[in-house]
Amino acid sequence: MILVFLGAPGAGKGTQAKKLAQDMNLKHISTGDMLREEIKKETSLGKRAKEYMDRGELVPDELIIAMIEQALPKDSGIVLDGFPRTVAQAQALDEMLKKHHKKVSCALLFDVEDEVIVERLSGRRVCPKCGAIYHIKYSPPKVDNVCDVCSTTLIQRDDDKEEVVRKRLKVYKEQTAPVIEFYAQKNKLKTIKATGSIEDIYNILKNALSNEC
Ligand code: AP5
């Protein structure tokens, strides 16, 4: 099964993708996590990507496509989280999968209103070591500001500052909307109303996967 998770920043893609990947033994590929790893290692890709990410803009397609091409597993199911984000990326993904006689099974759009997004992102805390995601109100760690999984001190992402969040939302509406249309035209798009508890949304997701993908 090859799943594409679409949705605005803060829609809950990463939270649901991590749970699903663990549950269904799928490989979770998040381009955002991969880029943050490159930044941490101070690679040339990381340095170039950081300039765009700090401004809330998309990293150029050719860098993202080259990075995914290397990371895409040949033999396992995949949850793609945050990729593709442009039509050029969606077309490149189809080409890459075609080489392995595979196709996207389903694109799931996590649909959330803008006000919810701003609240989710301002309260998000992440573990810089293992990538676990928390929210100070909706999914707090057991000990304040400490990761439940690896005991590392949690951080706030640089791009979760309000002005960058607004820019990311604008970029999403301008550049990622055509990707939603791309999958709708192929009859592969499923929309999930992504407000409510993390558990409730997960159950809706599992239902959509068993009935429609
Ligand atoms: P990326 O890391 O992919 O960020 P994003 O898509 O903007 O998504 P987020 O990680 O912000 O949100 P999410 O939907 O995963 O939400 P989460 O589960 O964390 O990309 C960052 C940057 O990298 C981009 O701006 C771009 O520059 C670059 N980039 C990445 N991919 C690229 C690509 N393909 N092409 C070009 N550039 C690319 O949840 C958010 C918060 O809400 C958390 O605190 C969580 O605990 C909480 N929460 C989740 N669900 C619920 C719920 N149901 N109720 C209450 N709280 C909830």
Which tens digits make up the pLDDT trace of 131-150?
999 999 999 999 999 999 99
Q: CB atoms < 10 A from the CB of 80, how many? A: 25
For the ranges 45-49, 64-68, 151-155, 175-179, which has the lowest average pLDDT? 175-179
> How is residue 80 annotated by DSSP?
E
Amino acid at the residue 89: Q
Please check whether residue 13 is in contact with residue 7, taking contact to mean a CB–CB distance below 8 angstroms.
Answer: yes
| Helix, strand, coil percent content, the chain, rounded in steps of 5 | 50, 15, 30
Look up residue 42 and give its amino acid.
E
CA distance 96 to 93: 5
CA distance 96 to 74: 10
Q: How far apart are CA 75 and CA 148, in angstroms?
A: 31
Cβ proximity of 131 and 29 under 8 Å: no
Q: Which long-range contacts (CB under 8 A, 24 or more apart) does 185-191 make?
A: 188/104, 188/105, 188/106, 188/107, 189/107, 189/109, 190/106, 190/107, 190/108, 190/109, 191/108, 191/109, 191/111
Whether 213 has a pLDDT exceeding 80, the answer reads no
- Name residues contacting ligand 1 (CB within 6 A): 7, 9-15, 31-32, 35, 52-53, 56-59, 64, 82-83, 85, 89, 120, 123-124, 133-135, 138-139, 159, 168, 197-198, 201
Given this model, what pLDDT does residue 135 score?
94
CA 63–ligand 1 middle distance (angstroms): 19
Residue whose CA lies nearest to ligand 1 atom number 56? 138
* Tens-place pLDDT, residues 23-44: 999 999 999 999 999 999 999 9
- Phi-psi category of residue 202: left, alpha or beta, with phi > 0 → left and psi -120 to 50 → alpha: alpha
Q: Which residues are catalytic?
A: 13, 85, 124, 157, 168
pTM for the full predicted model:
0.93
What spacing in Å lies between the alpha carbon of 75 and ligand 1's midpoint? 26
Q: Which atom of ligand 1 is nearest to the CA of 136?
A: 44
Task: Let me know: does 104 contact 97? Beta carbons within 8 Å.
Answer: yes
Angstrom distance (rounded) from CA 49 to CA 156: 18
> Phi first, then psi: what are they for 7, rounded to 5°?
155, 160
| β-bridge partners, 153 | 146
212, pLDDT greater than 80:
no
Nearest ligand 1 atom, CA 198: 53
Alpha carbon 3 to its chain centroid, in Å, reads: 11
Give me the pLDDT at residue 170, please.
92
What torsion, rounded to 10 degrees, do the Cα atoms 75, 64, 192, 176 define?
Answer: -150
Residue nearest to atom 2 of ligand 1 (CA): 32
* Atom from ligand 1 closest to the CA of residue 11: 14
